[in-house]
Amino acid sequence: MNFDFSDDQKLLRDQARKFLQDKCDRSVVRSILEDNKQKYSKELWKDICEMGWTGTVIPEEYGGLGLGMLELCVIAEELGRSLAPIPFSSSIYLFAEFVKAYGSEDQKKKYLPRIASGDIVGTFALSETNGTPRPNNIKANVSDEKLNGEKTPVNDGEVADIIIVAANSDNNANHNSLSLYIVEKNDPGISTSSLETIDPSRPACSISFNSVNAEQLGQKGEGWSMIENIFNRAAVLLSFEQIGGAQVSLDEAKKYSLERFAFGKQIGSFQAMKHKMVDMYVKIELARSNAYYGAWALSTDSNELPIAAAGARVSASEAYDYASKENVQIHGGVGFTWEYDCHLFYRRSKLLSLNIGSIRHWKENLISNLEKRNIV
């Protein structure tokens, strides 16, 4: 079982890294943070679409490149390293994957080519309250193909053109009534309200739906199983983004520790600093191992994906959280300032740890799936 990337995939990684170094330096991220009117970098999004990344795993017959999930994992890690302020995960990891897996032929022809070209941005709306979404706390409902309800928070909801919404197909909130629906953002019954997030470069909002036209996606009443499947796939991709950010946090901590002197010595020569960076390294490499396992399960459609995805998600979230905080600590007082970049990675680590469910939620998923396999 080979968990390493191929030479072609490594070449793609090197090309993606160079491209993002040229097109997405920290000034691009800061420009979004400093301007409340900008929700994402439109110029970077245009460049990435022209590179074809938005169509990486979309089949060629729908305007994509027709590559595999491993190639998308490679790109995800590089996007995480650069802190790219674009709606890539919402549009590609979630919306496109839902349509690929469960859309009718007409829906695939209608939406996938426009997602692949970047002409439209998609997202997914599930949560309605604070805490982990459950089938029994979803209140949004669809009756006579009209959607009513509210979703909050919705990542990239203000910039999305098309939204997949989880809603009940009858008045009962349970596993058997939850379905998925596609709605057009330009429907007059949709209104949005911005939310403050710890990382404004990845915005979120509340969305209200008032008698909005809704097109069913997939089988009626199977919404929760569809969500669990796509979230497992997205968890692996997000874990690569988290590992990318965690690795840069370690690299920058090491760089600063070799440049900063105290008592006539590099602070990196002090044992306490060495221990911090070794702990960062161990957590990142453990997360990387779990992410590679997840990538293998994802690319082969293995029945081990639920366990692999949960393991990757938990370990990557914990590694990024730890690395971003220790990067601040190693920088000392300046690590808390706006001028240094430490806070950019800390912000992103917190935001990514809540996408598609918290660490606690994924730990529960991991335990549940291990119990099903009689492993614990």
Q: Model confidence at 2, in pLDDT bands (50, 70, 90)?
A: low
Counting the structural domains of the chain, the total is 3
Residue range(s) defining the domain that contains residue 323: 224-372
Q: Residues 6 or more apart from 305 whose CB is under 8 A from it? A: 232, 233, 236, 294, 297, 298
Q: Which pLDDT value is given to residue 147?
A: 96
Give pTM, 2 decimals. 0.95
In a domain, 63, yes or no: yes
Please tell me whether residues 206 and 229 are part of one structural domain.
no
Residue 353 clears pLDDT 90, i.e. is over it:
yes
Last residue of a domain, one of 221, 240, 268: 221
Q: Which pLDDT value is given to residue 375?
A: 64
Q: Model confidence at 174, in pLDDT bands (50, 70, 90)?
A: low
In a domain, 2, yes or no: no
Q: Which pLDDT value is given to residue 247?
A: 98
Q: How far is CA 311 from CA 118, 235, 363, 367, 371, in A?
A: 31, 9, 8, 10, 14
Q: Which pLDDT value is given to residue 376?
A: 56
Q: Which pLDDT value is given to residue 264?
A: 85
Please tell me whether residues 104 and 134 are part of one structural domain.
no
Last residue of a domain, one of 103, 120, 137: 120
Among the listed ranges 8-22, 166-180, 248-262, 361-375, which one has the minimum average pLDDT value? Answer: 166-180
- State the CATH number of the domain containing residue 172: 2.40.110.10
Last residue of a domain, one of 104, 120, 136: 120
Please tell me whether residues 173 and 250 are part of one structural domain.
no
Please tell me whether residues 270 and 213 are part of one structural domain.
no
Residue 170 clears pLDDT 80, i.e. is over it:
no
Please tell me whether residues 347 and 243 are part of one structural domain.
yes
Please tell me whether residues 325 and 350 are part of one structural domain.
yes
Please tell me whether residues 159 and 270 are part of one structural domain.
no
For 203-239, the pLDDT digits (tens) are 999 999 999 999 999 999 999 999 999 999 999 999 9
Please tell me whether residues 70 and 143 are part of one structural domain.
no
Q: Residues 6 or more apart from 161 whose CB is under 8 A from it? A: 120, 121, 122, 184, 185, 186
With 0-12 / 13-18 / 19 or more C-beta atoms within 10 angstroms meaning exposed / middle / buried, residue 7 is: exposed
Dihedral, CA of residue 247, residue 121, residue 53 and residue 239, to nearest 10: 30
Please tell me whether residues 231 and 167 are part of one structural domain.
no
| 63: alpha, beta or left? (left if phi > 0; alpha if psi -120 to 50) | left
